[in-house]
């Protein structure tokens, strides 16, 4: 199951490399009775008047879901206004990077008494923008303590993954592990592990690149893809990657999904 993203993130606004703590993904949730237009108006007022927000700008016309971009931000700030059936009611969510917490606090202050803080629904809820996402999984995989080797997971992959919910996050981690080991698995051949070798051979197939990323000053077309069908048989998660021949790293650059066809 996935959440349709309202627009693509632009490479210009991908977060700059920073500490893992600063890039940690956080979510705040609120209950409210105000309409989407009022929510948007309050946020626009804060962006115009608050010094910490003056370098940021709003992207997206829909008052129920939009983003803040900015060259000084650690990542996108996603703001959503979602109306659910009773007894849930209307919920606001703000998803951001820990390094951007000071500016998010100014946004929350601007909402005033129109919003009442609540606990984010969290993992397994499938509440849009409150559940764990593919982006959370990728960010965890980008840390040394993940144990994943041979990979460079770019910010563009994490940002695109934040718009996708998935029913089997451990499966993604295992696929990333195989992508990082591709060269070794191919060199070892089928004798060591026939099924893993066959899967690796599939991942080495090339496609017309959907995206091209920049890495260390070089353009890198994402010519390889990993396809992971969802457990409910409705969607396929697609991981776009390429091997940078300068150092051999498997570069994860973009994530999307598509409907599964019979």
What pLDDT, in 10s, does the model give residues 230-260?
887 888 999 999 999 999 999 999 999 999 8
pLDDT reported for residue 125: 62
Positions of the chain with pLDDT under 50: 1-17
CA distance 209 to 35: 41
114, 144: one domain: no
Report yes or no on 2 lying in a domain.
Answer: no
Report the residue count for the chain.
262
CA distance 156 to 243: 16
CA distance 149 to 156: 19
Q: Range of 242's domain?
A: 134-259
Q: How far is CA 262 from CA 100, 162, 234, 246, in A?
A: 43, 27, 10, 40
pLDDT reported for residue 19: 62
Report yes or no on 1 lying in a domain.
Answer: no
Flag whether the pTM goes above 0.95: no
Tell me the Cα Rg of the chain: 20
Give the chain's domain count: 2
What 3-state class would DSSP assign to 178? helix
Report yes or no on 139 lying in a domain.
Answer: yes
């Amino acid at each position: 199951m996935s959440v349709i993203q309202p627009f693509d993130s632009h490479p210009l606004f991908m977060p700059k490399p920073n500490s893992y703590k600063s890039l940690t993904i956080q979510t705040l949730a609120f209950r409210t009775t105000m309409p989407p237009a009022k929510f948007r108006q309050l946020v626009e007022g804060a962006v115009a008047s608050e010094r910490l927000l003056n370098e940021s700008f709003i992207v997206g016309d829909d008052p129920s879901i939009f983003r803040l971009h900015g060259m000084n931000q650690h990542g996108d700030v996603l703001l959503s206004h979602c109306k659910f059936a009773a007894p849930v009611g209307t919920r606001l969510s703000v998803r951001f990077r820990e390094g951007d917490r000071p500016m998010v606090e100014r946004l929350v202050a601007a909402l005033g008494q129109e919003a009442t803080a609540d606990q984010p629904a969290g993992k397994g809820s499938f509440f849009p923008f409150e559940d764990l996402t593919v982006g959370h999984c990728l960010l965890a995989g980008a840390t040394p303590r993940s144990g994943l080797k041979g990979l460079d997971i770019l910010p563009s992959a994490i940002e695109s993954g934040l718009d996708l919910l998935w029913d089997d996050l451990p499966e993604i981690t295992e696929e990333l592990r195989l992508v990082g080991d591709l060269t070794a698995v191919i060199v070892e051949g089928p004798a060591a592990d026939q099924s893993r070798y066959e899967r690796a051979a599939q991942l080495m197939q090339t496609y017309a690149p959907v995206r091209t990323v920049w890495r260390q000053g070089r353009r890198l077309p994402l010519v390889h893809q990993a396809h992971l069908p969802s457990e409910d048989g409705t969607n396929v998660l697609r991981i776009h990657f390429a091997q940078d021949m300068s150092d051999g790293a498997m570069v994860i650059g973009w994530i999307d999904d598509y409907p599964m066809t019979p």
